[in-house]
A and B are shown apart, each in its own frame.
Chain A
Amino acid sequence: MNETQLIARVIAGDRLAGRTLYDTHAPRVYSLAYRLSGDAEKAREFTQDTFIRAFSRLSQFRGDAAFATWLHRIVVTIVSNARRSEVRFSREVALDEAHSIEVSAPQAEPDLKECIARAVDDLSEAYRTTLIMHDIEGYTHAEIAGILGVPEGTCKSRLSAARAQLRNALAAFKE
């Protein structure tokens, strides 16, 4: 049974078809959710949300892109929205803490891995997503362009800018 048939059956309420579709795509969706969120528990929640949302909107799937592309677009959107909320929340908390904590404890010198993780995290959402998808998860520019809904050229320039920023951030690092 091909994917179009599976989709038709899921729309009609066939849970076995749903499981088949899920088994095909869930590992990669989970992996991307994990890389983008950096947390196994969150990756699990994001993956669940992705499939629940995808199945409930399956009748709206337009078929002008591959199902995988559509699904990955949903997970990227879910993670981005969650991260935006987290950033907003952490800024509010940071402001609150700034009033009460005047002297912070000295930080230990971070190792390279921590530096990279922080530098990647400090990238803008678009740069970060592009870098993670391309350099870490191995998506092609064409795939990323389809998922993010941008031209391939934009995708390439984002990756280039992300790498440049990462390099600058790591320039001072002494091994």
Chain B
Amino acid sequence: MDDNRFDEVIRDLRTFDTPPAPPLDEMWTVIEDAHFNAPVPISRSSGMRSPAPWLAAAAALVIGIGIGRYLPPGKRAVENPASPTAVASANPLSPTETSAVADAYRDQTNRYLGQAAALLISLPAQGAPGTTDATFASKATDLLVTTRLLIDSPAAAQDAKLRSLLEDLELVLVQIARLRTEKNKGDLDLIHQAVEQGDVLSRLNSAVATTQSSE
């Protein structure tokens, strides 16, 4: 087989046994079912108590440990010399451990920012049915725990932009969490105003992009 013939064979490979049209809808049904319809551990039915508080506590513990370990050893010792954490910090983290903790922290921040963005985007307009308000209020309450932990973290102290965003988010989330009570239902308009005036959504998107690109 000469060069020309071989080149022809290579070119023909593209038209040889071309893929059929992808069954997009059929595949999506399976994907949607597996990912989006998978059983969710948190029940939102009104008759059952939501397990969100213990989930939040667990998340807080994980973030707390991560952030605590992320602190420079010297700083931890000075802040609370008598604490067991300070004693533990006498052994500095290896670069691999520091990197792993930083990665875990970034993942957590990223996930949090994504959830906050989704909540704000899906926030209904004024006058939407009351049942959805309770759902949003519940989500906002869950996110508030993480917000406070992130605000108090050393990473937020080093990143003024992130800290400012988290503080604005905290105010908005508090307002959303208050939607649970009937007398605060008129606050939706104020919440939308606060989001718009603080340019919270675009800052959130920008923060998501930043944390992802820094990974």
Residues of A participating in the B interface, judged by any CB pair closer than 8 Å: 4-5, 7-9, 11-15, 18-19, 22-23, 26-27, 30-31, 34-35, 38, 40, 43-44, 47-48, 51-52, 55-56, 59-64, 112-113, 116-117, 120, 135-136, 138, 163, 167, 170-171, 173
A-B pair number, CB within 8 angstroms? 121
**B19 contacts the other chain (CB 8 A):** yes
Contacts of A48 in B (CB 8 A): 27, 30-31, 34
Kindly identify which residue among B14, B19, B121 contacts A135, using a CB–CB cutoff of 8 Å. B14
Contacts of B36 in A (CB 8 A): 13, 15, 18
Q: Look across to chain A and name the residue whose beta carbon is closest to the beta carbon of B37.
A: A15
Kindly identify which residue among B20, B107, B119, B122 contacts A60, using a CB–CB cutoff of 8 Å. B107
**B23 contacts the other chain (CB 8 A):** yes
Kindly identify which residue among B6, B17, B34, B110 contacts A59, using a CB–CB cutoff of 8 Å. B110
Q: What is the CB-to-nearest-CB distance from A62 to chain B, in angstroms, rounded to a whole number?
A: 4
Contacts of B16 in A (CB 8 A): 113, 116-117
Contacts of A4 in B (CB 8 A): 205, 208-209, 212
**Binary contact readout B24-52 vs A (1 if CB under 8 angstroms, 0 otherwise):** 10111011101110000000000000000
CB of B209 within 8 A of CB of A62, answer no
Q: What is the CB-to-nearest-CB distance from B212 to chain A, in angstroms, rounded to a whole number?
A: 3
Segment 1-31 of B: residues with Cβ below 8 Å from A: 1, 6, 9-10, 13-14, 16-17, 19-20, 22-24, 26-28, 30-31
Label chain B's interface by main secondary structure: helix
Name the residue in B23, B31, B121 with the highest tally of chain A Cβ atoms < 10 Å from its Cβ.
B31
User: A116 and B34 in contact (CB under 8 A), knowing A44-B27, A47-B22?
Assistant: no
Contacts of B209 in A (CB 8 A): 4, 63
Contacts of B212 in A (CB 8 A): 4, 7, 61-63
Contacts of B214 in A (CB 8 A): 63
CB of A135 within 8 A of CB of B10, answer yes
Name the residue in B19, B36, B213 with the highest tally of chain A Cβ atoms < 10 Å from its Cβ.
B19
Contacts of A18 in B (CB 8 A): 31-32, 35-36
Contacts of B205 in A (CB 8 A): 4-5, 8
Kindly identify which residue among B1, B107, B113, B215 contacts A173, using a CB–CB cutoff of 8 Å. B1
